[in-house]
Structure 1
């Protein structure tokens, strides 16, 4: 008996098949390869940070890397999930759901940026396809610069 034909999605599930559900469940929301590469490079330069932490206690959103004393929040955004202008390809199946989902993610990203900036944080966002070395260099430069200016005061 073919399990794909008799598969019934759990209540409230948007999955169109058991295979699609397994595929979607396997997608990481943190500790992705680009995140790990960038973290390794930043850590090797002596910078310490929190992983998957809330920059603001009342904001129910987490950053990929948080430098609390310097007030720097780093996000490494997936091209598909965050609507990369270079690589985002609209889905062919269930396009209404997924297009709305990505648009919602993009709106939430803008809202998160605004909340953090209003609270005095520096927000750094990178796409998963960007060079890990370039991203790490930008993070190191930004955090070091903020620390130097704070120490000089």
Structure 2
């Protein structure tokens, strides 16, 4: 499991990126940690306006709606994210398809492979450079999957 994110300017240029390998756990919690790390990084960098893109519609719902009981295992991280959002002048969150951002997949894989505990990059890592260009140009990259037939 990995948490990752990318902060870009209005032209799609890299401002900061991060990856974190929290170990085993729930995918949703990993997504929420990524949001919290990204928001903390943005606030620390004095970013005032932020458009958040997530491939998790559940994260979007949890952040926008105030229906989470304080007994939920997600309550603390959601509360932290909401608090961080109060530091921004303006923000919005939108759902995007996972295929829309190959760069974050690479960051997640990098964090998992290297067992990184919250690495923040203020310059784009070398392995990310060609993919940032693809993302900026909105070039589609084919994904390959393995389909296994059920045994007879």
TM-score by length of 1: 0.30
Higher strand share: 2
Structure label with greater radius of gyration: 1
Which structure ranks higher in relative contact order (CA pairs < 8 Å, sequence separation ≥ 6)? 2
The TM-score, its normalising length taken from structure 2, stands at 0.30
